[in-house]
Structure 1
């Protein structure tokens, strides 16, 4: 009311200076009018007052056939997109905006058509939009899992599953025995994902009220998605969504046609625009070049600027300085006759130093999130004992009163309860089935390893979900790494096959823990859009089931279409497959697996990763934006620097756009980036089909030095 009093006082003074003046009745009427205007402004700020005139569908009505049809058809292309990204550079941006925009566009188009024909039985609601969003993200989320920027696969196709394969095992000769190798097959991959992906959905259901209502965790990704969906279903938001979809479609078409055009020039190894020596042949040899791949330009436009700078700095440190220096020690630190893919040579330094940086960053952030979680949790307990609401503001007693939005959302969120006995019973039954059947798929993975994992999984799921609700950081890679180390050492020391057991155990832990966090993100989205928790749970289950089938099938297309999958330097090098396999080898063999002097380098980069993170947190947010992120820096250490140029260019384009017109850049930047990513990613589908059909591009465009070109011309002349 402080602003209201100021307004009244200002008006009174102003009006007393007018020649005519105002009597008390007129002043009273003016004040009343001001109060009504302020009340109206307050109502406009209330999201639920905008929708209160609309009928709220039941949880069964929110689960429509059209929603799941649209979700399925969106899940397939999105799975191709993220599969291409994870098998090339391992970085996946958040595609929720794309999924939300396209889901809204397709269903809105469908319902418009039915409305004109008179066949529309049920209007398109924000609750149904939430179901589509949840189902799509759950489906292609089996292919990957991310917060901020992603370097992981939930389904394991780019790390622990492909890390079991013979293609990756051949790069580690000591661990290519049958006990430590399992090549991908559609059958066992689908069965494995069905066994491990649903358990986590049941582990956190009893915690939904505590996390969202009692502790009021923000779950930033879930909250952002809810705001996006709510805005779509207002007149202004729907109009903006249509223009964003048009923008996405324009750049999607450009990106797809550009990928199609480039294909004609790739008729051989090292051919095409992707091998253009932008900065010269010497820089090209050290992976510094722009490869004309708009998909990474789009990734750079979505990722924060500091991420783009971090990967570029990491590429300069590794491929510009470190690897050339270590390469000069060939024959001294490691045998000179080793192949370029051998982990006992230069490749070993790349893998293990990358692993050290990933572990340092992961463990630091794990400790930070855990400490923050414990502090917040203890504060919540103290507040409850003192009868203080978790969101209470000691400076304002009015903040203790729940808003209209909070009251309505809480009431509806608690209405459709999911019974605790159902959640606990489902978890126990699915865990028992997994314990019995998984050893048949992975013989070295004994039943008691799985039992131990499932005993601790709910505790880890709670920690991860709580930390994710506070910071939006999914720390699943840290938990997975610990599981791989522990189970590899346990299995390797007694039964053999420790590498395979460790990799499989990492998936057994990571899948349920990560799906649990994603489900709570969806519950938060549903809470803010008035979607029923039951509808959220069912759509998550259906989306997960879709992903368990779509993900392996999409990976199988890549596996069969591209024969060099997993080889260093190839288009689809699957960088984290070797990193995860190296984790398991380290668990079995210890530091004896490291090349000469590699341990010292690993310790130095491990400590440096922790120190850089600590400095970032110490100097404050303003200066932290100028300090690189170790996790992002680690990515090019193994796979090269070519994509860092693309990402940096994407970030630079967005930065210039923001300087010229920040409002338009913020509104349409994600749509442009999504179009670039989706178009190039979807081109992978027809290019895979052409590769499977053994159709070879007609032209090979290759770049040679002038001296090499002279020798080639002489050879051709004499032939």
Structure 2
């Protein structure tokens, strides 16, 4: 020990040269650190990269080619969202795919015109933002339009499953004309409700809007030389897996000539497990969805499937004849089906209400601090002036704010538009839904701007849009107000559509304003793009849904290819709001209360343990989805999650760069196969082969019968 200390303290004739060497090394290190800081600062100053490029006017950002590409992509994405809506109801974010494909199509377009000498306007990030906004707005109508929930929940096919289509004719079957009219009347109000708040939300409060911010960073990167090179590679990967997924869907079609035929009926874990929906159904779509969704979502789905179909439903089946009549068909809600649906509803409501009050609390607290801080100081609290990045961040903010405030949308225009559409809606909606009186609509429109603001603000803080929760509140309040004698079920479901469309489009528009703010796209071009995209969606979505509705006779039926699970859930919510708990089977209400409380408790625990540990605790909302459908799609999604997890372990950088492209290709390919599949079904062309799996005993009986 002493010997070592002496060596460390020993000095010799080389002392001065060593000091000089140390000093030189220190200077070099400081210079390197300064250089790295400058590089980091330059990297952070995105707007300095684009400083030499002129920002086109808001009219120049709205090009014909942008809307042609948007229309094509809108049809593609509407088919994908509609298929997901009508199968499991889980819809991942497709913003990355929309931005990537928009970039690819217009890049090819401009490259071709440039070679022919006909290119008049180069492709800019602002135009890319317009395309992404238009596509997401259009395909978003496939979700907020309620084709897999409240709108289809009004139909006779769904009402019959609830035994609610009695003498009072409590149903309204889909038709293209009234669906398009309904969507045109209710889908634009949300756009006008939050336009006056855009400066407060984006510039003053500096809300994050994580999805909008991520999309903006993606679009900004595409328009740098390095980003464009990566984008082209990502598009190639997307195209490769798109082709594979499309051809796989086409191949599977040949073997699905009847119920439970084909690869979707493959008893992966045995016939007993297959009976309880434990199997891998070879769906490229849900493998892709699993690669996009966080790991905890996929695990939560699987845990929910195991808890319900592996434990609860087999146990409740043993109480047949005691808890519910033994002779009831499997689809009757007064039997086992009732437990599946209402326990799922209770869990969804528990999770939804918890998050509603949580986000509402964060909204009110955030508003309080924002307003209090604004009175004390004009400097936003998120900006750290001592940071070496402050100068570049300040330049970015100054440049972006200058452009964002340049093209104002008059407040009088927004208020006038809201009042005009509200008046039209109050006059027309009662003709579409006689049960929905004009004064119900008036009350909704009086409270809707506040709800839209809360949802848009909460989405800016947490990236959660609680549109479906606001819709459920409308179901219960308007349904109970109307009452069973005056068509409360249809009134509640229609009110859900009105409220859900307003708050959903409000948060979507504010996300787009954030994307536009970060890419220097004009607020006017964002508003016009969202408006045109919404108008496209109001026509495309009903037409795509009508194709499914006519092509598949068993649409919405339990156990079919397209069971539309949320349609039955929403219908039964409306029944519950109007008639109370009288329809529930024995002990179902007790179990509902237990799961409602458990959903709140699990969320409390998730928030209490912190984000790092919360990733190991299942999400109640995700757990509830397989209660009705079964765990088969959760197995598909977990396979996708496992593929991504292994890929990240092998090469994290490559997985992060190309994982979303692979997932998007898998989703888009099989999703777009539904178009030719539907056309073949409409033309009466049936699959030629039924691939089915039988037990040994059943097979012996079949052979004996055929031999006889």
TM-score, normalised to structure 2's length?
0.95
Deviation at 1:329, TM superposition (A): 1.3
Q: Deviations over 1:74-99 (max 9, x none)?
A: 00011111111110011111111111
Query: Would you say 1:476 and 2:475 are equivalent positions?
Result: no
Residues 361-400 of structure 1 aligned to structure 2 (within 5 Å): 361-392=351-382, 396=386
Note the residue ranges of structure 2 that are not aligned, 5 or more in a row. 1-14
Give the Å deviation of 1:45: 2.5
Q: Output the CA distance in 2 between the equivalents of 1:15 and 1:55.
A: 55
Aligned match for 2:399, one of 389, 397, 408: 408
Cα deviation, 1:162-208, whole Å, max 9, x if unaligned, reads: 00000001112234445421000000000000000001100000000
C-alpha change, 1:29 and 1:342, in structure 2 (3 Å) is closer
Matches of 2:23 and 2:271 in 1, distance apart? 83
Determine the structure 1 residue equivalent to 2:116. 117
Instruction: After TM superposition, list the pairs within 5 Å mapping 1:505-520 onto structure 2.
Output: 505-520=495-510
* CA distance in structure 1 between the partners assigned to 2:666 and 2:27 by the alignment: 59
Question: Displacement, 1:399?
Answer: 8.4
SS of 2:164's equivalent in the other structure is helix
2:269 matched to 1:270?
Answer: no
Aligned partner (choices 431, 439, 461) of residue 448 of structure 1: 439
Q: Which residue of 1 aligns with 2:623?
A: 633
Q: Distance in 2 between matches of 1:336 and 1:34?
A: 77
Matched, 1:436 2:435: no
Query: Which of 185, 193, 202 is the aligned partner of 1:195?
Result: 185
Deviations 1:517-558 (A, max 9, x none): 100000000000000000000000000000000000000010
Unaligned runs of 5+ in 1: 1-12, 145-153
Give the alignment partner of residue 350 of structure 1, picking from 340, 343, 368: 340
**Which residue in the other structure is 1:650 paired with?**
640
Query: Aligned to 1:204, what secondary structure does the other structure show?
Result: helix
Structure 2 residue aligned with 1:131? 130
* Residue-pair matches, total: 693
Relative distance call for 1:420 and 1:338 in structure 2 (3 A) is same
Q: CA deviation at 1:389?
A: 2.5
Q: Distance in 2 between matches of 1:501 and 1:41?
A: 57
- 1:78 aligned partner: 77
SS class of match (1:565): coil
1:335 CA drift (Å): 1.4
Partner SS for 2:559: coil
Distance 2:347 2:388 in 1: 47
1:55 aligns with 2:46: no
Give the CA deviation at 1:113: 0.2
Aligned to 1:466: 457
Distance 1:391 1:694, change over 3 A: same
Q: Aligned match of 2:331 in 335, 338, 341? A: 341
Tell me if structure 1 keeps the 8 A contact 2:400–2:517.
yes
Distance 1:14 1:523, change over 3 A: farther
Contact 1:165-1:183 within 8 A present in 2 as well? yes
Report the alpha carbon displacement of residue 591 of structure 1 after superposing the two structures with TM: 1.3
1:593 to 583, 599, 622: 583
| CA distance, structure 2, for counterparts of residue 41 and residue 587 of structure 1 | 56
1:38/1:665 Cα in 2 relative to 1: closer, same or farther (>3 Å)? closer
Which residue is equivalent to 1:239? 229
- Root-mean-square deviation (CA, aligned residues, Å) is 2.1
Q: Distance in 2 between matches of 1:398 and 1:114?
A: 44
Query: Residues 550-609 of structure 1, C-alpha deviation per residue, up to 9 Å, x if partnerless?
Result: 000000010000111111111100000010001100111111121111000000000000
Residue among 522, 526, 545 paired with 1:555: 545
1:14–1:406: structure 2 CA closer, same or farther, 3 Å change rule?
farther
Q: Contact between 2:408 and 2:523, CA under 8 Å: does it hold in 1?
A: yes
Aligned mates of 2:321, 2:28 — CA distance in 1? 92
TM-score by length of 1: 0.94
2:512/2:526 contact within 8 Å kept: yes
CA contact (8 A) 1:313 1:633 kept: yes
SS at match of 1:142: helix
Q: Deviations over 1:99-134 (max 9, x none)?
A: 111100000000000000000000000000000000
- The 1:293/1:400 distance shift into structure 2, 3 A limit, reads closer
Task: Find the counterpart in structure 2 of residue 664 from structure 1.
Answer: 654
Aligned runs of 1:304-323 on 2, under 5 Å? 304-323=294-313
SS at match of 2:486: coil
